[in-house]
Structure formats: C-alpha cells, structure tokens
Amino acid sequence: MNVPVDLWYSTDHVWVRKLDDGLVRIGITDYAQDALGDVVFVEVAEVGTTVATGAIFGEVESTKSVSDLFAPVSGEVVAVNEDLEAAPERVNEDPYGDGWICEMRTEGPTTHSLLDASAYLALIEV
C-alpha cells in the first residue's frame, strides 16, 4: 500500500495534507480506494459548509458499496475537486494527487488526533 510520509491519516482512512494559510487538502487513502473497488461517484459537502471532526462530509460510491466520508478535521469546506464529477475513477488512479476530494480551512491544530504514516501503516497491517 502507498502511504506517503508527508500526510496525516484518520482511522477512517482519510488523508490530510497541510497547505498554506490554514488550508488542508483531503482525500481517501490508497487502502480505502482499494477496498472500495471502482469508484463511480463522489459526493462532497458544498463549499461554505462547516463540518466538525468525525462528521459526515460526503460519500463515495463504488461498484461494491456506498461509504460515508468522515471529516478528519473541523473546518469550512473551501474547495471541492469538481473534476471527480466527470471522472470519479481518479480516486482509484491517483488517490493522493488528482483524486483529492476537498479542501478545508481549519482553525487551530489539525493533526493532534491524526496518525502519522508509520502509525497508519500499523493500523492497516493488523
């Protein structure tokens, strides 16, 4: 499994990349996309929506199932990856790049409840 060391991870298999100015980019992990199978639809909260850590902020539909997306951090959705509307398979092809799901503006610490790469690897290798 691909687990980049520069990201943070939730136990719900969502990754967080710190950007500038209190922004974070969010997507699902390689492990999650592999478990889901072929992604056919991604729905995300609208820009301007505020979500709390652990709240549902969207869902991913695959040929196997529909899975809720749980927010790894609290904040306001400021951007969604609109390319996924026409090409949801990007989540499978490049989960850490073109398959990102949304960006959020966070307040305060963002990684205190998240796992680093080694801890996430330990979680998925159990």
Q: What is the pLDDT of residues 73-123, one digit of tens each?
A: 999 999 999 999 999 999 999 999 999 999 999 876 667 789 999 999 999
Structure-token match 């400021």, residue found: 78
pLDDT tens per residue, range 29-53: 999 999 999 999 999 999 999 999 9
Q: What is the DSSP letter of 17?
A: E
**Which pLDDT score, from 0 to 100, does residue 22 have?**
81
As a whole number, mean pLDDT of residues 59-78 equals: 94
**Complete domains list, the chain, with CATH:** 8-124 (2.40.50.100)
As a whole number, mean pLDDT of residues 50-77 equals: 94
**Which pLDDT score, from 0 to 100, does residue 116 have?**
92
As a whole number, mean pLDDT of residues 58-80 equals: 94
Q: What is the DSSP letter of 109?
A: -
Straight-line distance from the first to the last Cα atom of the chain, in angstroms, rounded to the nearest whole number: 13
**Which pLDDT score, from 0 to 100, does residue 8 have?**
95
β 14-18/102-106 pair status:
unpaired
As a whole number, mean pLDDT of residues 55-84 equals: 95
Render the burial of 30-60: b for 16+ CB within 10 Å, e for the rest. bbbbeebeebbebbbbeeebebeeeeebbeb
Q: Three-state SS for 61? A: strand
Structure-token match 């709240």, residue found: 55
Cα–Cα dist 52/81, whole Å: 20
CA atoms lying within 13 Å on the CB side of residue 97: 4
**Which pLDDT score, from 0 to 100, does residue 63 have?**
92
